[in-house]
């Protein structure tokens, strides 16, 4: 069945509905500020931060490679999308309940339970993302996609900005662990409302590309990587520039260790990051039809390199607001680009497969946070920042070779 304009429009708004409520939830479960801060308050170290960051960012996406063979063979994927998001809701609610009764436990037990529930939360998100990408690609017409990503950034950014102030007040209103208990409970409620948007989606176009068995799946991966040079370079820049979104938990650790920042400052950092996301999303929405993804990626590289250079020059926490504003800009640029480029290098028949293959591009983003925790503990933050900048700089080669046409 072909995708009509009316169905595409219906799905466009359904995806936006999900995006808005997800935005309201994000600040209460922010992986760059709230979750790392919660882990540190529970007794976590730089090693713990590195491992948890690897699970949340790189590791969860890498698991898409294993989910992809199963989901690729499903013509319609809406029920698997709902399974993924409902699992995320349950894990957040469970973590909230656990934290409420966690004071009687040792810090090691708290950290263990946090790892288990955040792993479920992250991996179920990876499972859902394959279906999300496939359904979005075949349920919204191509000429509406870039507008979707841009207007989504504007609307969700506005929602995030509003909720950031409430998140900061909740964070400051009570002591640990009650403040994080309420934060995660609110996030679970908003994520539940976001799932309504997925229930409304009309999945009318079937996915026709089938894979039989593990060997056939591995052969398909090998063939696609060999035959599609854009896919190879896409994996290259995801492997390198992808670590740009992994630095923020370590910036929180840096601020706590060097400037003894508390919940109030963490809440401010969150607001500054959101401000960067909102402003960037609005600007990109206005110029979305006149700018190519490659220029967004180049801008993301330059701004990412600015962050560690600026941090190393700081003498107090007062300048951190600039770091997180720039971080919000980088997050926005990278998020829009990585999703848009993946849709460009794939098609309706192989998109779920490509989403799984893209998970392989998260090998370095998955390993880097783990090694970063060890590097920081053994050699300090300055060494970590230098290695970080070297990896990000190498992404320029892959972006140049990608030659995005849109």
> In the prediction, which pLDDT does 126 show?
78
Count Cβ atoms within 10 A of the Cβ of residue 212 and give its class: 0-12 exposed, 13-18 middle, 19 or more buried.
exposed
CATH number of the domain within which 64 lies:
1.20.1250.20
Distances, alpha carbon 83 to alpha carbons 128, 147, 240, in Å: 7, 28, 31
What is the rounded CA–CA span in Å between residue 332 and residue 388?
19
Residue 232 burial (CB < 10 Å; 0-12/13-18/19+)?
middle
CB under 8 Å to 119, separation ≥6 — which residues?
55
CA distance 295 to 369: 27
CB contact at 8 A, 137 and 348: yes
Neighbouring C-beta atoms of residue 73, cutoff 10 Å: 14
Domain assignment present for 14? yes
Q: What is the DSSP letter of 63?
A: T
In a domain, 206, yes or no: no
- The continuous run of DSSP H or E covering 387 comes out as helix 381-402
**Using N-to-C axis directions, what is the helix angle for 107-139 and 78-100, rounded to 10°?**
160
Is 208 inside any structural domain? no
Write out pLDDT tens, residues 218-264: 777 778 778 778 788 888 888 888 888 778 888 888 888 887 777 67
Residue 383 lies in a domain: yes
pLDDT in tens, 59-90: 666 676 677 777 766 777 788 888 888 999 99
| Alpha-carbon gap, residue 20 to 40, rounded angstroms | 29
| 159 domain residue, yes or no | yes
Phi, psi of 378 (to 5 degrees): -85, -40
Are the C-beta atoms of residues 138 and 131 closer than 8 Å to each other?
no
Phi first, then psi: give them for residue 8, nearest 5 degrees: -60, -45
Contact 180, 28 (CB under 8 A): no
Gyration radius of the chain over CA positions: 20
Q: Which token pair is 401?
A: 């070779």
pLDDT by 10s per residue, the chain, length 406: 566 667 777 777 777 888 888 888 887 887 777 888 888 888 777 788 888 877 776 666 667 667 777 776 677 778 888 888 899 999 999 988 888 887 777 788 888 888 888 888 888 887 888 778 777 777 766 666 666 666 776 677 677 778 877 887 887 877 777 888 888 899 899 999 988 888 877 777 666 666 666 677 677 777 877 877 878 888 888 888 888 877 888 888 888 888 777 767 777 787 788 788 878 877 876 766 667 777 888 888 999 999 999 988 888 777 788 888 898 898 888 887 877 777 777 766 666 667 667 665 677 777 788 788 888 888 888 999 999 999 999 988 988 887 666 6
How much is the pLDDT for 51?
Answer: 81
How many domains, in total, are found in the chain? 1
Tokens of 65: 């490679």
* Burial group, residue 253, by CB count within 10 angstroms (0-12, 13-18, 19+): buried
207 assigned to some structural domain: no
Instruction: Look at residues 355, 356, 340, 341 and name the one whose alpha carbon lies nearest to residue 403.
Output: 341
Residue 205 maps to a domain: no
Cis peptide bond N-terminal to 233, omega within 30: no
Structural domain boundaries enclosing 358: 5-200+213-402
**In this structure, are residues 363 and 62 in contact, taking their beta carbons and an 8 Å threshold?**
yes
Whole-number pLDDT of residue 304:
92
Residue 193 is predicted with a pLDDT of 92
Tell if the pTM clears 0.85, that is, is over it: no
């Amino acid at each position: 069945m072909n995708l009509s304009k009316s169905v595409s429009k219906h799905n466009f708004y359904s995806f936006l509905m999900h995006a808005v409520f997800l935005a309201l939830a994000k600040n209460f479960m922010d992986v760059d500020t709230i979750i790392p801060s919660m882990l540190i308050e529970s007794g976590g170290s730089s090693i713990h931060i590195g491992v948890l960051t690897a699970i949340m960012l790189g590791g969860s996406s890498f698991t898409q490679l294993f989910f992809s063979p199963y989901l690729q063979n499903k013509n319609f994927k809406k029920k698997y999308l709902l399974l993924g998001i409902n699992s995320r809701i349950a894990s957040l609610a469970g973590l909230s309940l656990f934290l409420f009764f966690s004071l009687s436990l040792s810090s090691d037990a708290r950290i263990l339970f946090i790892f288990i529930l955040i792993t479920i939360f992250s991996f179920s998100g990876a499972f859902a993302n394959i279906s999300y990408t496939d359904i979005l690609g075949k349920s919204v017409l191509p000429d509406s996609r870039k507008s979707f990503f841009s207007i989504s950034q504007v609307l969700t950014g506005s929602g995030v900005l509003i909720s950031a102030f409430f998140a900061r007040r909740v964070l400051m209103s009570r002591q640990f662990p009650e403040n994080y208990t309420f934060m995660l409970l609110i996030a679970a409620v908003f994520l539940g409302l976001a799932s309504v948007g997925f229930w409304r989606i009309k999945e009318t176009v079937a996915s026709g590309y089938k894979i039989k068995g593990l060997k056939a799946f591995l052969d398909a991966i090998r063939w696609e990587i060999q035959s599609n040079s854009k896919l190879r370079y896409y994996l290259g820049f995801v492997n390198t520039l992808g670590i740009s979104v992994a630095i923020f938990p370590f910036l929180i650790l840096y601020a706590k260790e060097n400037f003894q920042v508390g919940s109030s400052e963490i809440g401010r950092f969150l607001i500054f990051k959101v401000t960067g996301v909102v402003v960037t999303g609005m600007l990109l929405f206005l110029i979305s039809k006149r700018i190519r993804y490659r220029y967004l990626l180049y801008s993301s590289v330059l701004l990412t390199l600015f962050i560690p250079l600026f941090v190393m020059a700081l003498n107090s926490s007062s300048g951190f607001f600039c770091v997180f504003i720039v971080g919000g800009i980088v997050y926005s640029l990278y998020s829009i680009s990585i999703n848009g480029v993946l849709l460009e290098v794939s098609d309706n028949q192989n998109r779920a497969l490509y989403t799984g293959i893209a998970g392989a591009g998260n090998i370095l983003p998955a390993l880097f946070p783990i090694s970063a925790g060890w590097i920081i503990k053994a050699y300090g933050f300055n060494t970590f920042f230098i290695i970080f900048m070297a990896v990000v700089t190498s992404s320029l080669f892959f972006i140049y070779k990608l030659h995005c046409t849109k």
